[in-house]
Amino acid sequence: MSVMIHGKGFHRDQGWPGKHNLRYLCPPDGPPSDLEARPSPPFTTPFLDPLFIPKIKQAVDHLTPPAEPNDHQLFQQFPAAVFYELREEEIRWRFHSEYGETWTWGFDGSSPGPTFHARYGEPVLVRRFNELQPLWVSHLQFALPSTTTHNHNGHQASESDGDPSDWIGTGDFWDHHYPNFPASHPDPADPPNRIYDDREKLTTLWYHDHRMDFSSQCLRGPLRLLPAV
């Protein structure tokens, strides 16, 4: 069979980008003999589906129980007044119209999860609930339903950073304090003063599961940092 892949001008049976790199894959049980004939994940036609645009995450009025300021190293310095609840769930999802529906994990019912819009100078607190099915009940047998979420490249204290060993199990929640301040360094002429460099400001970040030995198991989503208003 010879199928033109849209926009690329090459054929499935004539090779595809990265095909020869398959020999470098080292699955723990050894590479399947038909890896090249039946690559995993299977082919999809690029640019066939409209891009999935995650919902914009909406804040909640308050958290119950409230966040504990003393649990966060930077809370006094950057008190959060905007609160979010984020839920990790097992969901049915279709990643591409050429695939069937499959079980996966998502944040707030989608994969990737919702987009957070945050602003510099506006610290937020995200309460993340692990509502995944317990081990052996979950449909995903290759992942562990104990999770920790890292806001990639965000400047946050260690307890909010999604440390690989800070995982929580089904039914628990974890509070992440995101101070949303730009990178800075002490002013050499006046050390208590800090110098901010606009070139160090981040704009689009992503958050993802960060559990030790199971990093980035299905759970991910975008976060946009917008200029201060």
Which residue, 72 or 220, is less far from Cu ion as judged by CB? 220
Strands 173-178 and 124-130: antiparallel
CA dist 84 and 177 (Å) reads 10
Q: Pick the binder of Cu ion from 87, 96, 152, 155 (CB under 5 A).
A: 152
Tokens linked to 55: 């919902």
> Cβ of residue 112: shortest distance to Cu ion, in angstroms?
13
Tokens linked to 47: 């640019």
Which residue, 57 or 220, is less far from Cu ion as judged by CB? 220
> Cβ of residue 98: shortest distance to Cu ion, in angstroms?
29
The strand pairing partners of 114, in sequence order, are: none
> Cβ of residue 152: shortest distance to Cu ion, in angstroms?
3
> Cβ of residue 54: shortest distance to Cu ion, in angstroms?
17
The CB density around residue 121, as the number of other CB atoms within 10 Å, is 13
Which residue, 117 or 152, is less far from Cu ion as judged by CB? 152
> Cβ of residue 88: shortest distance to Cu ion, in angstroms?
16
CA dist 177 and 159 (Å) reads 8
> Cβ of residue 181: shortest distance to Cu ion, in angstroms?
19
Which residue, 5 or 163, is less far from Cu ion as judged by CB? 163
Which residue, 114 or 154, is less far from Cu ion as judged by CB? 154
Q: Which of residues 86-115 bind Cu ion (CB under 5 A)?
A: none
CA dist 214 and 229 (Å) reads 38
**DSSP structural state of residue 124:** E
Stretch in the footprint of Cu ion (CB under 5 A) among 1-9, 103-111, 145-153, 156-164: 145-153
CA dist 57 and 62 (Å) reads 15
- 155 is an interface residue for Cu ion by CB under 5 A: no
Which residue, 153 or 184, is less far from Cu ion as judged by CB? 153
Of 177, 143, 157, 164, which Cα lies nearest the Cα of 68?
Answer: 177
Which residue, 152 or 201, is less far from Cu ion as judged by CB? 152
In the bound state, the residue with its beta carbon closest to Cu ion is 152
> Cβ of residue 16: shortest distance to Cu ion, in angstroms?
28
CA dist 203 and 199 (Å) reads 11
Of 41, 39, 32, which Cα lies nearest the Cα of 13?
Answer: 39
Per CB under 5 A, residues contacting Cu ion are: 152
